[in-house]
Homo-oligomer: A and B are copies of this chain.
Amino acid sequence: MVTPWEVKGEVDYDKLIKEFGTSRINDELVEKISKKAGFMHLFLRRKLFFSHRDLDLILKDFDSGIPFFLYTGRGPSGRTHIGHLVPWIFTKYLQDTFNAKLYFQMTDDEKFLFRDELSLEKTENNSRENALDVIACGFDEKKTKIIYDVENIDFLYRIALKVAKKVTYSTSKAVFGFDNSTNIGLIFFPAVQAAPAFIENERGNDCNCLIPCAIDQDPYWRITRDVAPGLGYRKPGAIHSKFLPGLEGPKGKMSASEESSAIYTTDDEKTVKRKIGSAFTGGQATVEEQKKKGGDSDVCVVFQWLFYLFEEDDKKLEERKRKCKSGELMCGECKKDLNERVWKFLKAHQEKREKAREKLKDFEMK
Residues of A at under 8 Å CB distance from B?
Answer: 109, 112-113, 120, 150-151, 153-154, 157-158, 160-162, 164-170, 172-173, 178-188, 190-191
Separation of A113 and B163 alpha carbons in the complex (Å):
10
5 residue pairs bridging A and B, Cβ less than 8 Å apart:
A113-B164, A160-B185, A168-B181, A168-B184, A170-B181
Q: Are B185 and A188 in contact (CB under 8 A)?
A: yes
For A116, the closest partner residue in chain B by CB is: B165
Q: Are A181 and B165 in contact (CB under 8 A)?
A: no
Closest chain-B Cβ to A154's Cβ sits at a distance in Å of 4
**B residues in contact with A164, CB < 8 Å:** 113, 183-186, 188
Copies of this chain, complex-wide, total: 2
Separation of A185 and B154 alpha carbons in the complex (Å):
16
For A112, the closest partner residue in chain B by CB is: B161
**B residues in contact with A158, CB < 8 Å:** 120, 150
Q: Are B187 and A169 in contact (CB under 8 A)?
A: yes
Q: Given A109-B161, A113-B161, A158-B120, are A169 and B185 neighbors across the interface (CB < 8 Å)?
A: no
Q: Given A109-B157, A169-B184, A172-B184, 10 more contacts at CB 8 Å? A: A109-B161, A165-B185, A168-B180, A168-B181, A169-B181, A169-B182, A169-B183, A169-B187, A184-B187, A187-B187
Q: Given A113-B161, A161-B109, are A183 and B154 neighbors across the interface (CB < 8 Å)?
A: no
- Contact partner of A190 among B153, B157, B184, CB < 8 A? B184
- Contact partner of A191 among B178, B180, B184, CB < 8 A? B184
**B residues in contact with A168, CB < 8 Å:** 180-184
Q: Are A167 and B183 in contact (CB under 8 A)?
A: yes
Q: Are B182 and A112 in contact (CB under 8 A)?
A: no
Separation of A151 and B155 alpha carbons in the complex (Å):
9
Lowest 7 CB-CB distances: which A-B pairs, in order?
A: A164-B185, A188-B188, A170-B180, A154-B154, A153-B157, A164-B184, A167-B184
**Which of A161, A172, A173 has the largest number of chain B CB atoms within 10 A?**
A161
Closest chain-B Cβ to A355's Cβ sits at a distance in Å of 30
**B residues in contact with A180, CB < 8 Å:** 168-170, 173
Q: Are B179 and A185 in contact (CB under 8 A)?
A: no
Separation of A250 and B362 alpha carbons in the complex (Å):
61
Closest chain-B Cβ to A148's Cβ sits at a distance in Å of 11
Q: Are B188 and A178 in contact (CB under 8 A)?
A: no
**B residues in contact with A112, CB < 8 Å:** 161, 165
